[in-house]
Amino acid sequence: MRKTVKQMGLIANQIRQDIIKMLVKAGSGHSAGPLGMADVFTALYFGGIANVDPKLRHDPKRDRVVLSNAHICPVLYATLARRGYFPLAELKTLRQLGSRLQGHSNSHFDIGIETSGGPLGQGISQAVGMAIASRMNSQQSSVNSRQSISSKLTTNDRRQTTYHTWCLESDGEFDEGQTWEAYLLAGKMNLRELTTIIDRNNIQIDGFTEDIMPLEDFAKKLRAFNWFVIEVDGHNIRSILDAMRQAKSQAANPTAIICHTIPGKGVDFMENKFEWHGKPPNRDEARIALHELRTLGGKIKSEHE
Amino acid sequence: MKPVKLSEFWQYATVEKRPTRDGYGEALLELGKNNPDVVVLTADLAESTRVLPFQQKYPDRFVECGVAEQNMMGVAAGLALAGKIPFVSSYAVFSPGRNWDQLRVSVCYTKANVKIAGAHTGISVGPDGATHQALEDLALTRVIPDLVVMAPCDAEETRKCTLAAAAYKGPVYFRFAREKTPVMTVKDTPFEIGKANVCREGYDVTIIACGPLLHQALMAAEKLAGKGIEAEVINCHTLKPLDAKTILQSVKTTRCVVTVEEHQITGGLFGAVSEALAKTFPVPIEPVGMPNSFGESGAPDELLAKYGMTEKQIILAAQRVIKRK
């Protein structure tokens, strides 16, 4: 699946509309983060980056995508639905009883989600574990193959079972000690099988990150942990694609892509407002937001209104 | 019920004594040889959790996480989700003590096939003092849905418990101790997850024990027999899922219970047995365990005596509970 940059712009816009519709229906959830990450998710899933395919969702060689800041799951759900993992109509069940689309994403329902998240900082450790497993598979020695009796995979299967792991995280997660523990381990192991994609939107629930718990000089800190760091405009799909390709070809170290994003991107009254971190729009607000997205901020006339 | 086979020396001074953690290290070497999916993690405690021989023999399947238990639990979850069978090895006060949230969400909620080995449990950890004596781990783990919880009684049973954990699909927590304790079981003593072993037959009182204190329970039963009281002794190595059937069968005859554990008397074995019997067959139950307090530094035997987890206390508890029938 590889769309053109122009097509991806339209997909990201659709995903933003999906997010608004889901949130207004659910009546709770997070608005700013999902909207801010729509371009990044689009690049990862539609730009030929993550080696995943809804038809091969159990393939041991698939890339692993881990959403650590699982509260922004509406953007993941919308992306997966648009990518064909489950019907688009199901999006409106978000957060409802019996839905596969839980308030924080989990791995129970075979819809292309690898892990369960919510408590911040947990996804990165799981992603490190997945990347280490890929490394171990590539190193399986022939000695082990002779000794392997109980295992289903042969050494050859195992050697070929390598993949890249992509972990999506938020800047707020770097308040958690666990995140730094994981960065230490990945840095120690030169875990080139892992790329993190950090939503640097500068907000968290109680305010701006630099007021709540300053992270700068952020890139410098990560480099000091033996990571390769790239900083990009998280709304420039071409730059995001370039950074992701560069990360995947890294031979020496794990890569962190710091994506500078605007929380609430695409909806004027939500942009850069930390008040929109943890709440959904009401019906009137959703109408205004959808109008803005459909008309690309007034640049075109909406076909659907 | 017919008792399981025990070592013929179990009640003599000549009984072999080994720390239960040794059984863990031995089993890991067996697993390393036979199952290439088995992976071991530790947080700077390779020697004392007995995983060092595995590390030396299978360095490619070993992850030294440094002193970072939260990350270690999450990394184990990731390894398991990618098809590995990770064994998380640390002291129980840190794992699951410090990384309970990661155990709950990354491992159990995600249904990741992770095995968590909690070392240095009980007051018998001794001189290290209260901070390192895990007396709450069974309570912490027992409340998490779908997590198997075990407390093997000696080094041989710990070996079997480790192998059984590897063969079981799903998250498992098991604990072991620091000190040398009597090896009561033998190679052909049965071990099955969720199946309690009757070690001695009796009809006056049921003594249900887990962990190395099983030895004190068996010794107490011998002394009680001298006083005309026949105690049935059950080795309840699996706290979850609890073998309520075996317990109920025994209690229907004895109609009273003493529980014995090196753990707080809330939330562990006393809790599990009380919960099960309250629902099906309420009878008087007396706990022998840590009386809702923190430990302190001291020699293991001194501490067990001071906090009431000895043969003598088990005898007194049995006499008390029989009177309450």
The 3-state DSSP class for residue A39 equals helix
Instruction: Check residue B323 and give its pLDDT.
Output: 98
Of B34, B71, B110, the CB nearest to A185: B71
Q: Do B75 and A141 touch (CB under 8 A)?
A: no
In the predicted structure, residue A154 carries a pLDDT above the cut 90: no
Give the pLDDT confidence of A257-278 residue by residue, as tens digits.
999 999 999 999 999 988 898 8
**A108 CB near a chain B CB, below 8 Å?**
yes
In the predicted structure, residue A152 carries a pLDDT above the cut 70: no
Do A258 and A230 form a contact (C-beta atoms < 8 A)?
A: yes
Instruction: Check residue B2 and give its pLDDT.
Output: 87
Q: For residue A255, what is the DSSP state? A: E
**B102 CB near a chain A CB, below 8 Å?**
yes
- Within 8 A of A67 by CB-CB distance, chain B residues are none
Instruction: Check residue B35 and give its pLDDT.
Output: 96
Closest-approach residue (CA) in chain A for B98: A178
In this complex, how many residue pairs, one in chain A and one in chain B, have their CB atoms less than 8 Å apart? 128
- Within 8 A of A149 by CB-CB distance, chain B residues are 34-35
* Mean pLDDT computed over A281-304: 82
Instruction: Check residue B255 and give its pLDDT.
Output: 98
**A164 CB near a chain B CB, below 8 Å?**
no
Closest-approach residue (CA) in chain A for B85: A133
C-alpha–C-alpha distance, residues A162 and A62, integer Å? 8
Closest CA to B51 of B60, B35, B64: B64
Do B76 and B85 form a contact (C-beta atoms < 8 A)?
A: no
pTM for the full predicted model:
0.95
In the predicted structure, residue A51 carries a pLDDT above the cut 60: yes
Closest-approach residue (CA) in chain A for B30: A147
- Indicate which of A108, A181, A184, A191 best probes the interface with B, i.e. most B CBs within 10 Å of its own CB: A181
C-alpha–C-alpha distance, residues B263 and A10, integer Å? 60
Of B35, B70, B78, the CB nearest to A130: B78
In the predicted structure, residue A146 carries a pLDDT above the cut 60: no
Please state whether A198 falls in left (phi above 0), alpha (psi between -120 and 50) or beta.
beta
Q: Do A125 and B73 touch (CB under 8 A)?
A: yes
- Indicate which of A126, A152, A188 best probes the interface with B, i.e. most B CBs within 10 Å of its own CB: A126
**A162 CB near a chain B CB, below 8 Å?**
no
In the predicted structure, residue A161 carries a pLDDT above the cut 50: yes
Instruction: Check residue B1 and give its pLDDT.
Output: 74
Instruction: Check residue A142 and give its pLDDT.
Output: 42
C-alpha–C-alpha distance, residues A116 and A270, integer Å? 28
ipTM of the complex: 0.95
In the predicted structure, residue A158 carries a pLDDT above the cut 90: no
* Mean pLDDT computed over A152-159: 64
C-alpha–C-alpha distance, residues B261 and B304, integer Å? 11
Q: Which of residues 62-91 of B touch A (CB under 8 A)?
A: 63, 65-66, 68, 70-84, 86
Query: End-to-end CA distance of chain A, in Å?
Result: 31
Instruction: Check residue A298 and give its pLDDT.
Output: 65
Q: Do A122 and B105 touch (CB under 8 A)?
A: yes
- Within 8 A of B108 by CB-CB distance, chain A residues are none
Q: Would residue B69 show up in a list of annotated catalytic residues for this protein?
A: yes
Instruction: Check residue B244 and give its pLDDT.
Output: 97
Handedness of CA A242, A243, A249, A251 (dihedral sign): positive
Q: Do A184 and B101 touch (CB under 8 A)?
A: no
Q: Do B35 and A151 touch (CB under 8 A)?
A: yes
Give the pLDDT confidence of A6-26 residue by residue, as tens digits.
999 999 999 999 999 999 999
Which token pair is A275?
């008040």
Domains of chain A plus CATH, in order, are 5-138+153-295 (3.40.50.970)
Q: Which residues pair with B88 in a beta bridge?
A: B41, B116
Task: Please provide the size of chain A in residues.
Answer: 305
Do A265 and A197 form a contact (C-beta atoms < 8 A)?
A: no
Instruction: Check residue A150 and give its pLDDT.
Output: 41
pLDDT in tens, chain B (325 residues): 789 999 999 999 999 999 999 999 999 999 999 999 999 999 999 999 999 999 999 999 999 999 999 999 999 999 999 999 999 999 999 999 999 999 999 999 999 999 999 999 999 999 999 999 999 999 999 999 999 999 999 999 999 999 999 999 999 999 999 999 999 999 999 999 999 999 999 999 999 999 999 999 999 999 999 999 999 999 999 999 999 999 999 999 999 999 999 999 999 999 999 999 999 999 999 999 999 999 999 999 999 999 999 999 999 999 999 999 9
3-state SS, one letter per residue, for chain B: CCCCCECCCCCCCCCCEEEHHHHHHHHHHHHHHHCCCEEEEECCCCCCCCCHHHHHHCHHHEEECCCCHHHHHHHHHHHHHCCCEEEEEEECCCCCCCCHHHHHHHHHHCCCCCEEEEECECHHHHHHCHHHCECCHHHHHHCCCCCEEECCCCHHHHHHHHHHHHHCCCCEEEECCCCEEECCECCCCCCECCECEEEECCCCEEEEECHHHHHHHHHHHHHHHHCCCCEEEEECCEEECCCHHHHHHHHHHHCCEEEEEEEECCCCHHHHHHHHHHHHCCCCEEEEEECCCCCCCCCHHHHHHHCCCCHHHHHHHHHHHHHCC
CA distance A270 to chain B (A): 31
**A9 CB near a chain B CB, below 8 Å?**
no
**B57 CB near a chain A CB, below 8 Å?**
no
C-alpha–C-alpha distance, residues A154 and A156, integer Å? 5
C-alpha–C-alpha distance, residues A278 and A23, integer Å? 11
Closest-approach residue (CA) in chain B for A141: B60
Catalytic residue (choose from B8, B64, B69, B230): B69
Q: Do B75 and A129 touch (CB under 8 A)?
A: yes
3-state SS, one letter per residue, for A89-153: HHHHHCCCCCCCCCCCCCCCCCCCCCCCCCCCCHHHHHHHHHHHHHHHHHHCCHHHHHHCCCCCC
